[in-house]
Each structure stands twice: as C-alpha cells, then as structure tokens.
A and B are shown apart, each in its own frame.
Chain A
Amino acid sequence: MSNIARSAFSLAALLLVAGATPASAASSEADFKAAFGAAEAANKQAGVLRNQWTVTAGALAEAKKAADKGDFDAAVASSKEAEALARASIFQAESEKDAWQALDIH
C-alpha cells in the first residue's frame, strides 16, 4: 500500500471516529469561536495551496448562521465539519503534488 493510500485510510478512520464521538455537554460561544477559528485557519491554508473546496465555505457559513441564532451545538458541529473538509483539501493538494503524474499521457 502506498504512503498516500495509507494516509487516506487513516484520514477516513479519523473522520469516522470524530463523527461518531457524541458531544458530552452543550457547547458554549467560546467553544464555537475556538472551533470556527481552527476551521478558518485550515481553510486559509488550503487557500494558500489554491485548493479550497466550496463545501468548506458552505459549512463555515452554516456554522456562522447557527451561532447567530445562539445554537452553539450546531455551530460547533458545522465548524468541525468545515475543519475536516479543509484538512481533506489540504491533504488532496499535498498528495497531488506528485500523484497527478499517474494520469499524464506521455
């Protein structure tokens, strides 16, 4: 198994575990701000790599909307989804630095 494939399987497992972990307590505004900040930072990094995903922006917007309504549980959940998406886009950009050559007609 290539390193890229191994990393992708690890990412899949991590995302499943993260998604399956139940929230133990109601989220606060501070929790939202921390989660949203982390997601924005990851998405910014994807932007530097010129590889942002539209769904990341969508999840960030959902998080903001939920926070504006005072629903911080939903806001934190959307922020975490946005961060996971941003990290996946970073992973994609990094792995494609070499992987693109597999498709090249030459």
Chain B
Amino acid sequence: MATLAQIAPFIILIPALGAFINFFWGMKMGERTSALVGIVASSLTFVVALGLLSALIANDYNPIVVNPPFLDNWIKIDTLEISWATRVDTLSVTMLLFVTFVGTLIHIYASGYMAGDARFPRFFAYLNMFLAFMIILVMGNNFLMMFVGWEGVGLCSYLLIGYWWDKPNGEGWRNSNAARKAFIANRIGDFGVLMAIFMMFWAFGTLDFYKAGEEANPTAGAHHGEEVHAEEEAEPVSEEEAEPVSEAEGEGDAHGDDTVAYVSYQTEGVEMHQLGVFGQTAYYAKEQKESGEAKVFMLGDMEISLDVLLVIVTLFMLLGATGKSAQIPLFVWLPDAMAGPTPVSALIHAATMVTAGVYMMVRSNIMFYNAELTSFIVTLVGGTTAIVAGFIAMGQFDIKRVLAYSTVSQLGFMVAAVGLGAYVAAIFHMMTHAFFKALLFLGSGSVIHGVEHGHHHAHKHDDQHREDYDHADDDPHDDHFDPQDMRNMGGLSKKMPITYITYLIGTFALAGLWPFAGFWSKDEILADAWLVGFEKGNLKGFIALGLLIAAAGFTAFYMWRQIEMVFHGKARTEASEQASENPPAMILPLVILAFFSFIIGFINIPTGAGIFAVGLDGSVGLHVLGNFLEHSIFASAFVLPPFQPLIAFTALGIGIGAIILARGIYGGTKAINAEGKDPLEADPAIGVVWGIANARMYWDEIYFALIIKPYMRIGAFLANVIDWAFLHDYFHDSFILKGYKSIGQLLAKPIDLGIIDGTVNGFGILARRTSGLLRKVQTGYVRTYAVALFLGVVLVLVLMLVPLITNGAG
C-alpha cells in the first residue's frame, strides 16, 4: 500500500486549521492575510488530493482505506463498530479533485469579491469549514461519516446564505429567511438519509461502504482501451458480468464457495459481517437470483424481502438527495439560496454541495441498480426537475436566479442519469457542471460587482465619501437599485470584455455546444437514456430522453436570453453604463475555469465519437474518466455508452436552434422593450405561459397554501384553542388549580395542623405536666432525701431477702 495515501485522514485538517485560524485571529490579521490563509489552505488541499491520486494510481487504482492513528474506533457500541476511516478510491478522489480545484479558484475569486466586507475573515473561515466538511462527506468510508459531512456542509450552507443577515431595508431579513428555508428543506431530506442509514444498519449490521480488502469491482481495468468495451458492457444484466463482485484480484485461490469471492484476503467461510453494506447487497442479490427465492430479512418482528428493503432504503436516499441536490419536491430552497454572496452560490450551491445527493446515489450504485422501482422514480424526478427548472429559468430577471434554476435543472440531468443507471455519466456531468456553472456564477458575480461599482460611480458626484463604502452598507441611493436585475444591465460586453468572453464559454458549455464540456457530459447522459430506452426497451429511457432533450433546449434558450440581456444591446441604466472590469483576483479564476470548461469534456470521449473527438481520442484515450470510475462501480451496474450520432446531432441541433431562437427574440436592443417588459411577456399569446415561468410556477405559493398555511392554522388552533383556552384557562383553572388548592387545604388544616402539630404539641404538654408532678418530690429538705434513701434500702433488702426466706422455707 502506498504510504502517500496515509495522509488521507489529515487532508481534513488543512481546511479545518484554516477555518480555525480565521475564526480566532482573522480580525487581527487583516484582509490580505486572512484571504491568504484561506487560499493556501484550500490549494494545499488540492495538492494533497493530487498526491492521493498518484497514490491511487501507484496502487493500481485499487481502493485504499486509511484509518487515522487516532479516532480508530470512532464509535464502538456492542456490535456496532464505526471507524473514522477515509476511503481513497476513484470516486472519492474524483470528487475531491474537482471540489478542491474549483474551491481554490473560488477562494481566490472571493478575496477580490468580498474585499471591504465587514466580516471578511469570517467568510473565509466559513468557506474553509465548508471544504473540510465536504472532504469528510466524500472521503468517509461509512454512511455515518458521510452524514457528518452531509450535515456539516448543510450548516455551512445555512451560515453562508444568511451571511448578509444585517443588510438594511429588510434585505437582511430576507437573507436569513432564505437561509432558514434552505436549512428546513434540507432537514426534510436529512430525515430520509437518516432513515436509510437506520434501515441499512438494521438489515446489514454495519454502516461501512466496504470492509477492508473488499472492492467494488475487482475486474475493473481488465479491458482498458479496448474499442469493444462499451458494447460488451452495454448488456450486462444476464451475462457473467452480472456477478456483483467477482473474485479476489491477485489471489484467485477461491475454491467453490461463492461467498469467498467477496473478500479478497479471505479464502474460506466468509461471514456476512466481513462485508460492507454494498458487498452484502450484491451478495444477497446474486444469491436471490441464483436460488430463485427471495432473501428475507428479519427486522424485529417484521419480515422484509431484499427487494422491498432496497426500494425503501433507496427511496429514503432519494428523499435525502432531493433535499441536498435540490430536486422536486424539495428544490425550492436553492433559488432562494442565491441570497448568499456570489462565491458561495458558485462553490456550494452550484459546484459542490448540491452534488452531494448525486454522489450518495452513485456511491450506492449497487442498491439503486437492484431497486428497479426506485430507479424509475429517480429518473422521473430528475427528468421532471430538469424540465421544470429549465422552464422557470426562462422567466426570471435576476441574473443569479436564472443560474440557480439552471443548476436545479442540471442536477436533474445528473439525478436522471443515476436513475438510468448511468453512474459514470452522472459523475461526469457533475464534474463538467462544477466547472462551467462555477464559471457562470463567478461571471455573474463579476457582472454584479461591476454594475454595483458603476452604480456607485454614477452617484459619486453627490456623494463625496465614495472610498469607504462596502457591500454590507448600502448608501441611501441604493434603495431602489437592484444590481442583480438583468433589466438594469445591457451592453456590458464592451465594459467587461474578459467577463463577457468567459461567460460566453460557460454558456456554450452549459448549452451543450461542441466542443465545450457540456456537450460531452450531457450527450453521455442522453446516450445512456437511448441505450436504456431503445436497446433494453425500458420505459424510463424514453421518458428521460424526451424530458432531457426538451430541458436541453430550454437551457440553451434561457442562457442566450441572459447573454442578450446582460452583455448585448445598449446599457439600460447609468450603472451599467459606468460598469468596469474587475480586479485580477476575480478575473483570473474566470479565465482558468473557462479554460477547463472548454477542454474538460475530453476526459471522457465515448467510443465512436469520430470527427467530434478531433483526433484527441488517440492521445487522451477513450472513456478515461469512465474507466477510472469503473473501480468504484459494481461490475453489473457499470455502463459506458458508445457515441450516438443521432442523439448528439439532435441535441446539438436543438441547442443551436434554441440559441438562434433566443437571438431572434432578444437580439440587439429587443432584450427589454420600452415598458421594461420581456418580449415574451409582451406577446399576448405567450405572455400567459411566460407569466407562469416568471412566477416560478407558483411553486412557493402552492407550498405555502398546501403546507405552511394549514400548518400555521393547526399551530394557531393548538396554541389558541387547545393550549390557551382549553389547557390554560379551563383545564388549568378548574382541574389543576382547584385540585391543587383542595389538596393543599387538606394537607394544611387537618393533616399538618391537626395530626402533625397535635402530636408535637402533645408531647410537649405531656412532658410539662409530668414534670410538674415530679418536681414536687424535690423538696430541698435533706431529711426527705434521707427517708427516700432508707425506704429504698429497705425495699431492696426486702426484695433480696424474700426469695431467701422462701428458699430457706422450701
């Protein structure tokens, strides 16, 4: 085992230390040092992630589980043993690499964007803390560690959405409401994750993903570089590939017993507790298939078959994913989460945290693979979310809100990919999306920043102290100006050329135009849908194909609408007239991200891409990411779709068509008409539909009417009627108070005064009376005492002598 991998548990400490320093000494260090701490911590994490990648390659892509020297048995209760073990495998390293890389760029960007903020160090502390939790989330080797990270990133998300909680004019209140909304929506999802964890522990007796020595896919890498590979994998269900985990690599001395195959170091009598959750799932699924009878778990008194259990567990996981990854029905928090500073939107609410749900589902691929019903629902949820969010995005004016709905829509693509069993495609799209959506968010931040500056610039004549404004303190002129409203923009391409070009690249990548990243990743999902639909004849494939292609059209349309409104045409306000390009700290990350948005798609060129691959398939290789990830995905659940020219051309055609359509509608100076309306809004026929999109399909209002209002009514009823009127006024007064009073009376008068006091006083009186009688004996005359003495002696003598006399007589 590579020794380099031993640092894996400590990677968490780097951003944690950065956060610690910024929390406690940030205010003393000043902005530059504070930002430097954050950036250095973040980039060091990326360097360590690269080190882990090299360790993984040195270990022949086989997963490495690292127990830290401390915290080895993190939790040990009876049979439950949970170690704080970090898992270095291809999936976690892929996540780690893009999270830390994009994270570092966003840290750099934030150092420019947040300059002058009153709580600058705290922002960087939160960002570093977020990175630490995100690393725990992706690197944990058990569901509990993942859950710790899951909750941690949720906390950081909450803190950062509400970061500007103290803005004046009610804006701070809106920000903190958005934060609460995010937290509560996520909490519903977290309930699902917890339930899934409980059920898995109940059924499998462990929470570890894999136990030591276990591999998801020991056969992986056997046919790297073979052209026919994808076709082979295309129909994996019935063939020998269906074997969930095949035999121990290297030590193939497993004789006869099938169970042996699951643990590479063990050769006989393998016990279930030596397998992780996924290994057991795979084992039972295979056993069930071979024997033909359902595997039954006993959960307390309840019998539950493997199929039902997997469906329930995966449905709970899906609930968690709909919370974290903002899917229908819990996606409503993500658009509101744009209240946070733009780097936060880019890092947490576009590139990394929101992909946690998809990560969890991909990590649990064998479960989703074996739960056909859930997979269908997942596809449906993802596809619907993709198209609904895409539709809503077309009617928004807030530049970040458009991107937020776009993120929801793209997450829908990923979730649909998970449902289709296209786990590689999901991760691939997650990765490319991280780059181009971070780029777009940072670009929108750049635009907002520029417009804000332009606004201040425009007002400097009547405001002398323009030097010391900052974002948190709106000056009085800002009351009615929204720097995020696209209606206030226009013509920025000349004022902010670098932002414009990078934004264009991001748009093309998101719209899925060749050769940008989105083309490859979106196409792979569509190709997978094609495969599932046409070649396996599964309904979910057709559904996904239809929904996702339409969503792709929406994507291209709303993105080009945004380009036209923001960058083209003429400046519509003084602020956008005066806008200027931003400092290098903000521009540099844009350029780097644009570069990657351009080329990152080539890391997973499908077979048969032909001319699209521009010869890079030879030098880069086919399915590089896919083959890499194969080591983390169960052989039976692993699919690499070949290039589908028909799908690719259709998607490309729809994308370009949508852009041309958008250019026709919004092009030039038509973006916003004279009354400040969207051209579609002004159109009598489409206006109604557009209005629905603009109103966000009344989703929040429906939730308000269906859930919050009844909830508040029940709450009011419980509070006013049950609690106050009944419990307090009636029950309290007539039962509790009255009863208490009568018991008190009873205790006080007859019992306390009568019995207890009577007893005590009685003893006193008795003692006094007796002593009154006895004291008369003490006369003071010596003679009396002498008589008493004599009589006493006489008495004693009599008592002594009487028995003598009788004895003598006897």
Same complex? no
Interface residues of B (CB under 8 A from A): none
Please list the residues of chain A having a beta carbon within 8 angstroms of any beta carbon in chain B. none
